[in-house]
Amino acid sequence: MAVRTYYTREHEWVRIEDGVAVCGITDYAQSQLGDVVYVELPEVGAEIARDGEAAVVESTKAASDVYAPVGGTVVGVNGRLEESPDLVNESAEDQGWFFRMEIDDEGELDELMDEEGYQAFVEELD
Amino acid sequence: MTGLSRDTVSGDLGLRIEEPLIFEQDSPGAVGVDWPEAEAGPDRLGGLARSGPIGLPSLAEPTVVRHYTRLSQKNYGIDTGLFPLGSCTMKHNPRLNERMARLPGFADVHPLQPESTVQGALTLCRELQRWLTVLTGMPGVALTPGAGAHGELCGMMAVRAALDAGGAANAARRRVLVPDSAHGTNPATAAALGFEVVSVPEDGRGRVDPDRFEALAGEGGVAAVMLTNPNTCGVFENDIRRIADAVHDAGGYFYCDGANFNAIVGRVRPGDLGVDAMHINLHKTFSTPHGGGGPGSGPVVFSEALAPFAPVPRIVEEDGVLRLEEANGRALGRMKAFHGQMGMFVRALAYMMSHGADGLRQVSGDAVLNANYLLRKLEDLYSAPFADSGPAMHEALFDDRSLRDTGVSTLDIAKAMIDEGLHPMTVYFPLVVHGAMLVEPTETETRASLDRFVAIMRGLADRAKAGAPLTEAPHHAPRRRLDETQAARKPVLRWRGAGEE
Amino acid sequence: MRYLPITSADRSEMLRAVGAPSVEALFADVPEDALLAEPVDLPHHAGEFEVERQLSRLAARNRAAGAGPFFCGAGSYRHHIPAAVDYLIQRGEFLTSYTPYQPEIAQGTLQYLFEFQTQVCLLTGMEVANASMYDGATAAAEAVTMANRVTRRSKAAVSGNLHPHYRDTAATLARFQGFALEAGPPMPAGGEDLASRIDGETSCVVVQYPDLFGNIADLSALAEAAHAKGALLVVVVTEIVALGALRPPGAMGADIVAAEGQSIGNAMGFGGPHLGLFAARARHMRQMPGRLCGETVDADGRRGYVLTLATREQHIRRERATSNICTNSGLCALAFTIHLTLLGETGLKRLAALNHAGAVSLADRLGGRVVTPAFFNEFAVRLDGDAAEAVERLAGEGILAGVPVSRLHPGAGLNDLLLVAVTETAEEEDLAALAEALA
């Protein structure tokens, strides 16, 4: 079964891999931000509620909060972003992931958009 | 290396001379100041004498003078030309003010000398307070804040102190209403003091919607409104009395951001409009030099209600002698080490005395006339979102809608202006206008200078519409567009010698 | 009026172009009763000579430091400023330029800021420095809030020998931002035990070097004690020339250095404008307040400079900014960097040595009255009577003898203490005159 990706209205994505939620910002979000220069990641072990502030992504002109798509505990962060924040621009929904979480309630995923729903949402914005 | 440098041996072009860092001109053995060696003797440094080199370069005076002269030639200043930077009031800086600030009686005076030896300095501070009081119609003046944003901090601390003095119930008053056209410092200041920022939307005509404002103020918990007037959309908030009444009725205070005071100085007193606190950027309205980013000076004027909470030190008179009051139970506290930016007070007072009440009135009149002139001369080529919202004040606001199909952005126009020998206007501010271009000519431009500006701006619009490649500009400045992404991704904030980590 | 070039003929034509009957008509949006019909009640415009005459009279009513023996310090110091400094900072391209937000035509400002940041790092022994702040006191207050951000704690332990104006500036922020600031009592002879006041909730310990009374102490153990509890060491320097002679704070484990830079290149000016210096460890760079200048390249690959990491600042982050600051002390930083470049390695060390030698010479004459055991160019002297009265009396005799401690610590029972600063501007006769007056 193909791995399913879920999306938020705040332009985060989340995907379950090996039982852990991998989160990042969407390709649309990175295109709006422009060149990403820095990502402030959460501490491993941090417990974050759904929609809680989890990270900050900065371009030269803007700083944006990144919220947790679902509630849970941070179990890993993408250390490569420290040296190479450009990964967010190049591969927002793969190599440019932000953090991994153990989810409190998988049911929260069902309240998010699927890929098709998110595409429609973004088209509304443009 | 490309193009431009191909014609010369050095790579330099006429007066455009590359200049290395001082660290790259180190000439061990050279000195720029002749100090003798101290007589040898036992030190009393407690064993903490520095060992080893500091790492400072050694240069003789001619090298140093040439270095900084060459650096200066890479800068644009008001002395160079029109500086239409909206909301920044880049007007002529009279040199008399510099001479006055350097009088030994002002410059070579210590802040903690006996008060009996600084009566002239204290009198000057009092005189500046008097001018500010009369010009604003507000009875209290705190001189100490070091810049506009520091004045905002001071003013909003006074609001908090007054609320706290009003009883424990006021602790819940934490909402500060801030129009979304505000300077970034306003929400930053409010948030820094623990207030909750409530954004007030713009009404589509460049102003605060008074009905919406009254509704928000009516929701309770209001501490203050922070409003710029004239506002950053370049128009006067004609419902300002309703706004003042609404915030007062809600039990809050009216903080006015005085950044745009130049538009009304000598004609309108903020105290007559219901303002409780307002900072005054001496480096804007009263022409103390911007100096490449400071030092500023941001005195705050207060209404009767807030004046008792002004910070220390304060200047008080006892038996005809001026003293500094260093403690006061109601004071909000202390803003900085000493009594304020004295050097800026001297310059500002020299400016005020030179203009006088009549000249200051002409300042605002000409500043507003010049802005309206530019607005009318350019609005057919550059869309002006609020051109029909009443007369502009001292700024003319344009946006990039009229350039939409050209591929040329506000940023491109700004960079193209550099090639034309102009400093760009303020761009992408206020945030409520997409692609904003905020033009503030000030009153110290000649009509010829304004007409030249108009001719250049019209020419650029024509070129943009004709498909000229403006996106590469500037070509003729000391540098072309700089890579800000690289600067932020891998910050290099200091020089390091070869091999240094 | 000489600064206003629009003539009445211009005005008429421009009003016609605008379509307004008068200048007054342009103020139609102002509530009518708030619009003044006449100039306000202040003097009318005055010629240059008249303004100069009036202000010169006010200036003459102050006693300039150069008029006689002078020993005031306590956060503002009288040092010689080379003529080239004042000439260069008055070049219009520096004086009348704006914050370098358009880097292509502000490389002059940006390059000197880059040089300035490097010099501040070298002097303090730190890894990164910002482009300056309002003054030393506000820099110190910002250092505390930065330490709170870095450690996510909200309690600062402050030395009793920190300049009281610095302490009060930080305490004012603490009052309104809701963090704790615990200051100890002043200890003129030093020996304060700050380490014991650090616990697991402490964000930082703030210590002045040399301190208010001129004491210098090795801060390495204090740094270790702070770090062991997860707190930062903030070192405040009010006399930056001292770092030409003393081991730098960075070499003793400081995490943040907040300093007053007025001593190099800038006049005392009755207390302002001064120059806040701010330096930190590279790992805390993104938590720093204020402007930062960084190196980059332009579209042709040439080295250039820009303001960078601006996302920390108010104009981008608005209510989420690291501080509300939107200015630096640009021209004061320029004066600092020019003076320090003229001094260079040798000049600064010699200048510092001259300051120390003068202070030692005076202290030797005052003998047992000197309270401060180890010092740079300033120390506390115990008088037989009230120091403020002595200062007032000596001012009448033409000597500005120093700063009475009671002026900074009223009610602390230190009325007999006088702070005396000796810089390179004090001559042998001045030292002799003060020693005799205090004998």
* C340-362 tens-digit pLDDT: 999 999 999 999 999 999 999 99
- What pLDDT is attached to residue B6? 64
pLDDT over threshold 50, residue B200: yes
Q: What is the pLDDT of residue B5?
A: 47
Residue C33 confidence (pLDDT) above 80: yes
CA distance C304 to C297: 5
pLDDT tens digits, one per residue of B423-440: 999 999 888 899 999 999
Residue A39 C-alpha, separation from nearest chain C C-alpha, in angstroms: 11
In which residue are the tokens 């030395």 written? C159
- DSSP class of A35: S
Closest to A92 (Cα-Cα) out of A1, A28, A2: A28
**pLDDT of C118 strictly over 90:** yes
Residue B2: C-alpha distances to residues B480, B487, C399 (Å): 12, 22, 64
**Distance from B184 to chain A by nearest Cα, in Å?**
13
Neighbours of B449 (CB within 10 A): 15
Residue from C311, C315, C318 whose CB has the most chain A CBs within 10 Å, to mutate? C311
With pLDDT > 90 as the criterion, what percentage of chain C qualifies?
95
CA distances from C378 to B45, B68, C190, C357 (A): 11, 33, 14, 11
CA dihedral over B38, B42, B43, B49, signed as positive or negative: positive
**Sheet of strand B426-427, all strands in order from the earlier edge strand to the far edge:** B396-398, B437-439, B426-427
Q: Which of B12, B18, B33 to mutate to test the interface with C (most CBs of C within 10 A)?
A: B33
Find out whether B376 and B398 touch, Cβ atoms under 8 Å. Answer: no
DSSP calls for B355-399: HHHHHHHHHHHHHHHHHHHHHHHHTTTS--TTTTSS---S-EEE-
Is the Cβ pair B489, A58 closer than 8 Å? no
- Nearest Cβ partner for B109 among C127, C268, C298: C268
Mean pLDDT value of segment C193-212: 97
CA distances to B71, B215, C179, C271 from C175, rounded to whole Å, are 43, 31, 7, 24
Is residue C274 left, alpha or beta, with left meaning phi > 0 and alpha meaning psi from -120 to 50?
Answer: beta
| Each residue's pLDDT tens digit, C255-280 | 999 999 999 999 999 999 999 999 99
Residue with tokens 């530019």: B374
CB–CB of B59 and C342 under 8 A? yes
Instruction: Name, in order, each residue with C-beta under 8 angstroms of B40's C-beta and a sequence gap of 6 or more.
Output: none
Model confidence at A1: pLDDT above 60: no
Residues 6+ apart with CB under 8 A from A116: none
pLDDT digits over B90-99, tens only?
999 999 999 9
User: What pLDDT does residue B1 have?
Assistant: 45
Mean pLDDT, range B251-273, rounded to an integer: 97
Mean pLDDT, all residues of chain B: 94
Q: Kindly calculate the radius of gyration of chain C based on its CA atoms and give it in whole angstroms.
A: 25
**C56-88 pLDDT, tens digit each:** 999 999 999 999 999 999 999 999 999 999 999
Structure tokens at B14: 């006429």
Chain-chain contact of A58 with B488 (C-beta, under 8 angstroms) = yes
Is the pLDDT assigned to residue B181 strictly greater than 90?
A: no
Q: CA B58, CA B31: separation in Å to the nearest integer? A: 6
Mean pLDDT within C232-257: 98
**Is the sign of the CA dihedral B190, B192, B195, B200 positive or negative?**
positive
- Give Cα A95 distance to the centre of its chain: 12
Query: Does B356 or C316 have the greater pLDDT score?
Result: B356
The pLDDT value given to residue A44: 94
pLDDT band at A2; cut points 50, 70, 90: low
In the sheet that holds C180-183, the strands lie side by side as C128-129, C276-280, C256-260, C232-237, C204-208, C155-158, C180-183
* C286-297 mean pLDDT: 94
Task: Of B397, A24, A38, give the one whose Cα is nearest residue C287.
Answer: A38
| Residue C30 CB-half CA count within 13 A | 23
Binning pLDDT at 50, 70 and 90, where does residue C313 land?
A: low
Among A37, A39, A90, the strongest candidate for a mutation testing the B interface, having the largest count of B CBs within 10 A, is A37
Find out whether the peptide bond into C21 is cis, omega within 30 degrees of 0.
no
Cα C321 to Cα C310: distance, rounded to the nearest angstrom? 10
End-to-end CA distance of chain A: 32
Whether C51 has its CB under 8 Å from any CB of chain A: the answer is no
